[in-house]
């Protein structure tokens, strides 16, 4: 399977614990995105990498959230001191910088987080 | 006002019906437009890009009206398998802004 992969697919944790999610983009894609989706809402942008550089962070991404893409390939999203409000689906997407034309993002299956 | 607005539905239609969804956006500088489909508890998947001249892919037709800042999706001859949430996406140079999605249920 050469699509975007995410691990784990599900995570249940207790409030106050730290969690880390991993995203492996499509191999030739240089752009990587993290989104969060809650029930009944569309995905909301969290952060964006071009290669290893983190170029934008949403104000939704509090100090407890950190994302890295150290070698410009896979990325990790860490949430420290989780809160019940962090319960959501965390989606990763990747794309190739367009040379003219539109950029299309391809999504991974997501990591569903439940904070008890 | 939300950047991208959609009627959440649900739209319940019989098999074979034609159904249309609209989506409005607030940023006139938006450059790219898409419709994604999302099945329950799954990731969004690209249905089609939306071009200024309008475009068609089988039973699906997408239109963009830049002057009025809305995009539309028309589904003809609805199938049971079309039941899903349809997400409107508006993008600038890279960031996607999603609508809340419109739920469609096609009934036998």
- Cα A50 to Cα A8, A30, A98, B78, distances in angstroms: 23, 6, 12, 39
Average pLDDT over every residue of B55-74: 95
Average pLDDT over every residue of A52-59: 91
To the nearest whole Å, the CA of A107 is away from the closest chain B CA by 6
Strand (E) positions, chain A? 5-7, 10-13, 19-24, 31-37, 44-50, 53-57, 65-68, 75-79, 88-95, 106-107, 111-115
Average pLDDT over every residue of B64-88: 96
What CA–CA distance (Å, rounded) separates B108 from B74? 19
- H or E segment at B35? strand B32-38
Cβ–Cβ contact B4 with A under 8 A: yes
Q: Quote the tokens at residue A4.
A: 């975007």
Q: Do B96 and A40 touch (CB under 8 A)?
A: no
Residue B73 in this model has a pLDDT that exceeds 90:
yes
pLDDT at B36: 97
pLDDT at A44: 95
pLDDT at B92: 82
Q: Do B42 and A48 touch (CB under 8 A)?
A: no
What CA–CA distance (Å, rounded) separates B37 from B30? 21
* Residue in chain A lying closest to B10 (CA): A40
Residue B74 in this model has a pLDDT that exceeds 70:
yes
Residue B27 in this model has a pLDDT that exceeds 80:
yes
pLDDT at A1: 56
């Amino acid at each position: 399977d050469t699509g975007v992969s995410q691990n784990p697919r599900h995570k249940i944790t207790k409030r106050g614990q730290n969690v880390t999610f991993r995203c492996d983009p499509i191999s030739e894609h240089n752009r990587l995105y993290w989104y969060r989706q809650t029930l009944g809402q569309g995905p909301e942008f969290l952060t964006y990498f071009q290669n290893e550089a983190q170029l934008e962070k949403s104000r939704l991404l509090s100090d407890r959230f950190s994302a890295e893409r150290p070698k410009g390939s896979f990325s990790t999203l860490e949430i420290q001191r989780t809160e019940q409000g962090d319960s959501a689906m965390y989606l990763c997407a990747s794309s190739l910088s367009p040379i003219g034309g539109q950029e299309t993002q391809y999504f991974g299956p997501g990591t569903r987080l439940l904070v008890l | 006002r939300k950047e991208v607005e959609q009627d959440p539905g649900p739209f319940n239609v019989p098999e074979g019906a034609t159904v249309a969804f609209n989506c409005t956006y607030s940023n006139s500088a938006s450059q790219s437009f898409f419709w994604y489909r999302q099945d329950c508890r799954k990731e969004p998947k690209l249905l089609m890009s939306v071009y200024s001249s309008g475009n068609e892919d089988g039973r699906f037709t997408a239109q963009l009206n830049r002057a009025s800042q809305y995009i539309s999706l028309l589904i003809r001859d609805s199938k049971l398998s079309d039941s899903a949430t349809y997400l409107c996406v508006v993008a600038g140079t890279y960031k996607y802004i999603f609508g809340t999605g419109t739920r469609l249920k096609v009934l036998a």
